[in-house]
Amino acid sequence: MKTIERWDIFELELKGKPEGNPFMDYEISATFKGDREEKTVEGFYDGNGTYRIRFMPSFEGVYHYEAKGTFQNELTQKDKLCGSFTVSPASSENHGPVRVLDEVRLRYEDGSSYYSIGTTCYAWANQTQSLQEQTLETLKNSPFNKIRFCFFPKYYLYNTKEPLTYPFERGHGEGLDMALVKKAKEECLTFPGMKQAEFDLAFDYTRPNTAHFRRYDERIRQLRDMGVEADIILMHPYDRWGNIMMDAKSCDSYLRYVNARYGAYRNVWWSLANEYDLIRTKSTADWERYGTFFQEKDPYQHLRSIHNCGDFYDHSRPWITHCSLQRIDFYKTTEETGLFMEKYKKPIVWDEICYEGNLELGWGNITGQELVRRFWEGALRGGHCGHGETFLAKDDILWWSHGGRLKGESVPRLQFLLDILKEVPGGYLKEGHGIFDETVGIAATEKTEGRKNRQSPFAPHTSGYEIHYLGIMQPAYRDLYLPEERKFQVDLIDTWEMTVTDMGVHSGIAKIKMPQHPYMAVRIVEVSS
């Protein structure tokens, strides 16, 4: 009997009908039954009469399955239509899918800590194979445990090359909604200033290009095996190939296809859109239908989100598992984590807070220092941030879209931040009360909210594990108002120089000398003796 590990993929390959449009005309599914779960999952067409059904078991033990649907010849493949396999314990690097814990925090399904340090390479999977390999190599040596990227190719500044493959087969515009096409051509709904001549709408949108999706299989699997969550963007506005001009039936079929094909990868997150509000071919009713589809039909209940350019989507919608945010205030970004966490009672993932780089456009030209500052401001409030890099290059390869090599200064500092967070009891910080020039993160396991009174600098310290982050402030020292009867180990953390300096054990009022430059933090941990 075949054995796979928990949260890995069991795949069934079956021959079905190749005639007509196999993507639209037939259905194949299987029911998987183990001791602790029973799930029916849809299969997908993979070309040449081949259908695949993929299943991710959430528990150990023996599973039985039974497939049904429109087959080419049920008799010749009878032994394949039902069977059994064994699920062994997960290996040490496999913690299962990421789940929402305690309303506002993320965690792996096996209970181990997951703190997302994301990056963004929108179009990396559509670059040359060698560049894709380089991107994977870079990721391997980075702190990133989530990457955000698109299924559809991207047309935009520095993104004018054709993709390696197209998501749909060549055709004659089958499945296009001609009213949306007209709207897109007339109102510049995609890349500003795009000319009509630049549209390439000669695809059959009812037929996914299996070569395209097969490439994504490999990349998602590789990311999974590296421990990187794949935050897959299903739609985005920077389109000239008609991918956001499909009619409802074709679009729904695309989502069903993606769900069937990739749902069994434990590292998949569904990001319905990048900048949903710039996709003016879609209405709220569309987004609601898409979101509800995944909520109802994804057997594994992967994380679901929708990312904005201007105003946020209504993140209180029940199908949204976490807030995937682009900052809406230019000056105050991750400082607002608590505000939205309180409003939506969901995990806050700042997927776009301006990228480290020197691009001419305002979302891609901050310093490494500022990006790292935003990460700390987010992390101490219990939120997550996404990295991106936009340094102009002679070869026009920018990490933000193409992947490749990293050039900035922030990445080692993000690893340092992750290392600091891994030491926190419970693996997370939550925002505590501090004085006004510091952001205070308290171990999520703490019962207190930090200082008793946020207003007074003299309010006593109350909790047992705190990090005070000082951002751009540069005090010569900091007075800590520690309880007389308790002892605290104090460390000075230089978040930019990546050093931790032991400042000794203190009680009562402790005057901690500071180095008088920005980006410092003070860690205060209660010790028993």
The residue ranges that bind its own copies (CB under 8 A) are: 192-193, 329-332, 335, 358-363, 365-367, 370, 392, 435-438, 456-458, 472-479, 516, 518
- Which residues have C-beta within 8 Å of that of residue 448, sequence separation ≥ 6? 432, 442, 462, 463
Query: How big is the chain by its Cα radius of gyration, in Å?
Result: 25
| Minimal distance, residue 448 CB to its own copies, in Å | 22
Residue 86 or 365 with smaller CB distance to its own copies: 365
Residue 18 or 475 with smaller CB distance to its own copies: 475
| Minimal distance, residue 384 CB to its own copies, in Å | 19
- Which residues have C-beta within 8 Å of that of residue 103, sequence separation ≥ 6? 345, 346
158 contacts 240 by C-beta, under 8 angstroms: no
327 alpha carbon, distance to own chain's centre: 16
| Minimal distance, residue 436 CB to its own copies, in Å | 5
Distance of alpha carbon 49 from alpha carbon 63, whole angstroms = 27
Residue 55 or 400 with smaller CB distance to its own copies: 400
Q: Show the beta-strand stretches assigned E in 323-383.
A: 323-326, 348-352, 356-357
Sign of the four-CA dihedral 479, 419, 115, 124: positive
| Minimal distance, residue 455 CB to its own copies, in Å | 9
Distance of alpha carbon 246 from alpha carbon 244, whole angstroms = 6
Tokens of 227: 């421990």
Residue 412 or 481 with smaller CB distance to its own copies: 481
Residue 10 or 355 with smaller CB distance to its own copies: 355
Sign of the four-CA dihedral 167, 193, 248, 305: positive
Tokens of 263: 């749902």
| Minimal distance, residue 499 CB to its own copies, in Å | 19
Tokens of 55: 């299943």
Residue 117 or 366 with smaller CB distance to its own copies: 366
Residue 178 or 361 with smaller CB distance to its own copies: 361
Distance of alpha carbon 413 from alpha carbon 494, whole angstroms = 10
| Minimal distance, residue 456 CB to its own copies, in Å | 6
| Minimal distance, residue 393 CB to its own copies, in Å | 11
Residue 299 or 382 with smaller CB distance to its own copies: 382
Residue by residue, DSSP assigns 63-98 as EEEEEEE-BS-TTTTHHHHEEEEEEEPPPTT----E
344 contacts 316 by C-beta, under 8 angstroms: yes
| Minimal distance, residue 310 CB to its own copies, in Å | 9
| Minimal distance, residue 477 CB to its own copies, in Å | 5
Residue 59 or 458 with smaller CB distance to its own copies: 458
| Minimal distance, residue 391 CB to its own copies, in Å | 8
SS3 of residue 169 by DSSP: strand
Residue 79 or 436 with smaller CB distance to its own copies: 436
The secondary element (H helix, E strand) that includes residue 216 is helix 210-225
Number of alpha helices (DSSP H) and beta strands (DSSP E) in the chain: 11, 29
Strand 509-513 versus strand 477-481 pairing type: antiparallel
